[in-house]
Chains A and B, each alone.
Chain A
Amino acid sequence: MNSVHDMGGMHGMGPVEIEKNEPVFHSEWEARVHALNLACGYHRKWNIDMGRHSRERIAPAEYLAATYYEKWLRGLEMLLVENGLVTAKELATGRAESKAGGASALRASEVTSFLRVRRLARVDDEVPPKFRPGERVLTHNDHPIGHTRLPRYARAKRGVIDRDHGVFIFPDTHAMTRDKKPQHCYSVRFAARELWGPRASARDSVYLDLWDDHLDPA
């Protein structure tokens, strides 16, 4: 979706300011929100791509005004209600109307192993690649209302396949319908001038990870 989360190339955002000796979390609630997201993910009611799409759907003005963990809190509330772990009424009142059935919560003793489990974005499906390293590609000029990992700044642009990462879940469908649609994901190199015109350095380039479904031969 063409919303403000897709920030690559925007102007007017101000300087990049690095905080010296930055703490991992700036307050206790930020830490709790981060942990709540992981602990709720344990129930596997949604996938990582649905998670990203929840935060993208925060209204643009709010998205820009919110701090990072405010966005994660809002996204989590959306995911919990949309996927049936919490009702809208429970969220509004803060009172549980019923206990969650069946699934048990992540326990402290399971945290280490939970975080070490390989999550399967890379899949074993035998899917032939559409492109080989060195081949020229043209990205789709497509503006889906739903989730996509092809940013606006790289649409309808010419690039070169740098390397084939192998077969991965396709986030654009996985976020919307849970369809994994396994296909090759590549690192695609774009000359900075192809993306940004003559103001960019002729020497520089931007690499994006894109899938077969984003690309046509050029």
Chain B
Amino acid sequence: MSDHHDDEHAREHDRPLSGPALRAKALESLLVEKGLVDPKALDELIDTYETKVGPRNGARIVARAWVDPAYRKRLLEDASAAIAEFGFIGRQGEDMVVLENTPKVRNVVVCTLCSCYPWPVLGLPPVWYKSAPYRARAVIDPRGVLKELGSEVPEDVEVRVWDSTAELRYLVLPERPAGTQGWTEDELAAIVTRDAMIGVAQVKSPGQSKR
């Protein structure tokens, strides 16, 4: 590790990651002073991901697929185009693939190498998705992870884990829960969770108990 005997170059590369808030502020000031960044654009970017993009978008896709068989077919055949029908396009959602859960197949999405995630339909990824435990374990022990998260997979159900190693972005189409016949699309969208669209949970109807 670096100490005061190291040369300038080595210290540059070993600078500790302390005070990230200060460092971020210093970097922003420098970039603004250089004319490389406009702070108002940063505000707009933050507002977009805090208020405009998020898992409610994905929930609308899922709900539509549950009520409209023709849409479901388009979604499974060409997810990018079917999702674009809602206007959910752009950064980190350019090429989408939708994975259909069935009584015999559970799909689970991970990015073991970094944090790839379908931003236009799910927003920015939660901390657990980007964390070492999930990235390390989802591929080697998906059943163990799902069990810990309260979503145990029966022995006779196949688990498919999708490691997002390219620019394809994956969205799980969960199974529609029993007891939701006759529900409107909006009512259905309200029960679809982020975790179900990543594949680590199933959608429960409000009448169902926690487990």
Contact = CB atoms under 8 A, between A and B. Distances in A.
B34 interface: yes
Contact of B136 (A8, A65, A122, A169): A8
B17 A66 contact: yes
B190 interface: no
Interface string B32-45: 01111110111111
Interface in B25-61: 25-31, 33-38, 40-46, 48-50, 54
B108 to A, nearest CB: 9
Contact of A151 (B50, B137, B165): B165
Contacts of A110: 41
B38 A36 contact: no
Interface stretch (B67-75, B125-133, B179-187, B202-210): B125-133
Contacts of A11: 136
A6 B112 contact: yes
Contact of B128 (A19, A25, A105, A119): A19
A161 interface: no
Nearest to A104: B35
A206 B163 contact: yes
Contacts of B40: 107-108
B24 A36 contact: yes
A16 B145 contact: yes
B199 interface: no
A74 interface: yes
Contacts of B33: 95-96
A138 interface: no
A22 to B, nearest CB: 5
A56 B114 CA distance: 9
A68 B127 contact: yes
A33 B25 CA distance: 9
Contact of B44 (A22, A108, A192): A108
A177 interface: no
Given A105-B37, A208-B165, A92 B12 contact: yes
Given A8-B112, A34-B124, A206-B139, A108 B38 contact: yes
B137 A118 contact: no
Contact of B31 (A64, A86, A150, A208): A86
Nearest to B14: A59
A171 B195 CA distance: 28
A211 B29 CA distance: 41
Interface of A: 5-11, 13-19, 22, 24-29, 31-36, 38-40, 43, 48, 52, 55-56, 59, 62, 64-70, 73-74, 76-77, 80, 85-86, 88, 90-92, 94-96, 98-100, 103-108, 110-112, 115-119, 121-122, 149-151, 153-154, 165, 168-169, 171, 185, 187, 192, 195-196, 200-201, 203-211
20 contacts: A7-B112, A15-B148, A16-B137, A16-B200, A19-B127, A29-B20, A52-B113, A59-B13, A67-B20, A73-B27, A74-B17, A106-B37, A108-B38, A111-B48, A119-B94, A151-B112, A168-B166, A195-B140, A204-B142, A210-B165
